[in-house]
Amino acid sequence: MATESFDYMSGQRKPHDIRSLKMRDNWTNFGYIGLIYLIMAVTLIATLSSYAAVANAGLSWWWDLPTTVVAIVVIGASQHQLGGIIHEGTHYM
């Protein structure tokens, strides 16, 4: 029973329960990493498509600036998430 693994007097769980909560699920991790790379790829493709549309329309390159700023923010945030994943991964080395 679940109440056997919890000591109500001290308010602490037993070590084997804590270990089971700390187990990693690599398939979920791979999914999140893949999602981050997908976001970066879609951002890059959308930005390059925007550049091509602006060039084909004969507009000034100034019209590319808003797209470039959004791409920088999205890709920068994605790289920050990858850095967080790397940091968390080093805790289990």
Q: How far apart are CA 67 and CA 51, in angstroms?
A: 8
Position 8 scores a pLDDT of 55
Q: Supply the DSSP symbol for 60.
A: -
Position 5 scores a pLDDT of 57
Dump the DSSP string for 4-53.
GGEETTTTEE-HHHHHHHT---HHHHHHHHHHHHHHHHHHHHHHHHHHHH
For residue 3, give the H/E element and its range. Answer: none
Per residue of the chain (93 residues), what is the pLDDT tens digit?
Answer: 455 555 555 666 677 777 777 777 778 889 999 999 999 999 999 999 999 999 999 999 999 999 999 999 999 999 999 999 888 878 776
Phi first, then psi, for residue 4 (nearest 5°) are -70, -25
Entry pTM: 0.73
